[in-house]
Amino acid sequence: VTAEGNYALTPSQTHYTFALTKQTFNNLSDNETADFEATLNRHTISGRLVNASGNAMADTVVSLSGSQSAGTTTDVSGDYSFADLPAGGEYYITPAKTHYTFFPASASFADLGANKTANFTGSLVSYAISGRVTNNGQDLSGVTVLLSGSQSGSATTDANGNYSFNVLAEGSYTVTPAKTNYLFSAASMTFNDLSANQVADFGATLQSVLEFNAASYSVTEGTRTITVTVERTGDTSSATEVAYSATDGSAQQRSDVIPVIGRLRFEPGETSKSFIIFITDDAHVEGDESLTLELGNVVDGTLGNNSTATLTIVDNDSGQPVSNPIDGAEFFVRQHYRDFLNRDPDADGLAFWSSQITSCGTDAACIADRRMNVSAAFFLSIEFQQTGFLVHRLYRASFALPPEHLSEFLLDTRTIAQGVVVNAPGWEQLLEANKTTFIESFVARPQFTKAYPLDLTPAEFVNQLNSKAGGPLSPSEIAAAIEEFEGTATSKAIAARARVWRRIAESETFSRRELNSAFVLMQYFGYLQRNPDEAPDTNLDGYDFWLHKINDFNGDFRSAEMVKSFLVSAEYRARFGAP
Ligand SMILES: [Ca+2]
Ligand SMILES: [Ca+2]
């Protein structure tokens, strides 16, 4: 440059800052030196992470890559920062969190020339919970699958049995399949803290569904019976069983109806079964009364909506009665069929037994005597001896039990007596088949196998049972009973156990010995429809009194005045009218 001139020197370079921005030389008179010191600029990239709801995402990893690499995590406010980044570089910011996607996925800054902001929004990813429902390996459509937990929803399986839910990661979910008449295995499946797609397959089994064919029934007292039907839907291809019973309401099972208890067995293909409830056409002015019918103890099936039903008995009495209906011969006989045989009389039976009483004309002493004999004849009848008395002996032979409970007795007696009317065509074969089925089911009950374990040897089994029954079998009869097992090591064969048990229960010695106690028990079960120690009794004193008395009279109920006493008792007569 020319002397005596004025000069200014100013450096510049992108991304650099100079310590001296300008050097000036006025009236230049010599060579000069003008050095400059430059510094590369530094910048910060920062930002905030929020979730889809706008809330801060703390503790989330954010990575820096490009001209420099680094990592950091967001603070409680979701903020992060990378400071002191050399200007001019190329930088990428990428947030990451398991089960989340971010928008934008990353941010890039080329030729960084200033502080920058990069904000991100994170969203939980969705995973699928899906599966297939099958029934015996076949796709099952129309199954409602309920989703519960962190999200709720429902899906229905398609023609291929498939269903699917898209749900957010990290939630906990339960899926539960349902379809009328089906049972599922598993009943439901749960996935906690979901972190991947899941498969939830279910197996469905068609159920036998049992229920009353109505939610309520009504019958007029004077109709004397009502037939109640239980229907089966769903699977009808296999056998199933259900028990029915009733709970007293304003109507009482001792007086207004014969106790309602029994089992119904549906054979394959059967869809409907009925039972009869016997209504007492009493003389009480009592208004309409009701009780609740119930189904339970289903074997191989399930109960439908009408598992209970209301039975209303419509009263037919208005004025004060002039007599007790039990004093009528036909009413008296019918009641005995119901109380002892759980059925209504056949026409011949009703006529025969009624005529025994009506043939007395107006002779009161004759009538009283005949009523006593007719009554006792029901206890002594083949039909009762082969059903109720057999049940009594079976319990006594197994457990040497005191008098069993009335409901237990009725249920078992009715099972043996199912459909049996003595002298009706085929009655003996039916009774025999009923007995065999019942006894085999009884010896398979836990109560019995607990008392007589299946690993007992045949000799141990026979001897223990015989001993419990008081030893009615002779040595040769014991040997014959052991032979029922045909030389097997254990006594686990149910059919053989049943035959042995029957040998004891039906042995003459045992039957003779049990006759009086059963006779006394039936005074309570039959006439009074209650247990001997139930109200108005509080213990077995009454039962013991009669047992001693009839034993003292060697079983002569007439001399012991036992039947007569029960027939004229106020408790018995009050079941039907004014005592
Ligand atoms: Ca009536
Ligand atoms: Ca009445």
Q: Which pLDDT tens digits describe the chain residue by residue (579 residues)? A: 999 999 999 999 999 999 999 999 999 999 999 999 999 999 999 999 999 999 999 999 999 999 999 999 999 999 999 999 999 999 999 999 999 999 999 999 999 999 999 999 999 999 999 999 999 899 999 999 999 999 999 999 999 999 999 999 999 999 999 998 898 999 999 999 999 999 999 999 988 999 999 999 999 999 999 999 999 998 899 999 999 999 999 999 988 999 999 999 999 999 999 999 999 999 999 999 999 999 999 998 999 999 999 999 999 998 877 889 999 999 999 999 999 998 999 999 999 999 999 999 999 999 999 999 999 999 888 888 888 888 888 888 888 765 568 888 888 888 888 888 888 899 999 999 999 999 998 899 998 999 999 999 999 999 999 998 899 999 999 999 999 999 999 999 999 999 999 999 899 998 998 889 889 988 999 999 998 998 899 999 999 999 999 999 998 988 889 999 999 999 999 999 988
C-alpha neighbours within 13 Å on the C-beta side of residue 70: 13
What are the structural domains, with CATH classification, of the chain? 1-40 (no CATH), 41-124 (2.60.40.1120), 126-206 (2.60.40.1120), 208-314 (2.60.40.2030), 325-381 (no CATH), 383-573 (no CATH)
Closest to 377 in 3D by CA, of 419, 415, 422: 422
Residue 520 contacts residue 555 (beta carbons within 8 Å): no
For ligand 2, an ion, list residues with CB under 5 A: 282, 284, 286, 315, 317
d(CA 234, CA 425): 35
Residue 240 contacts residue 209 (beta carbons within 8 Å): no
Distance 93 CA to ligand 2 centre (A): 91
- Complete DSSP assignment for 235-294: --SS-EEEEEEEE-SSS-TTTTB---EEEEEEPTT--EEEEEEEBP--------EEEEEE
For residue 270, how many other CB atoms are within 10 A of its CB?
Answer: 13
For residue 4, how many other CB atoms are within 10 A of its CB?
Answer: 8
Distance 572 CA to ligand 1 centre (A): 16
d(CA 473, CA 475): 7
C-alpha neighbours within 13 Å on the C-beta side of residue 355: 6
d(CA 415, CA 264): 9
- Ligand of minimum distance to the alpha carbon of 286: 2
Distance 381 CA to ligand 1 centre (A): 29
d(CA 394, CA 390): 6
Phi/psi for 483 (5° steps) reads -60, -20
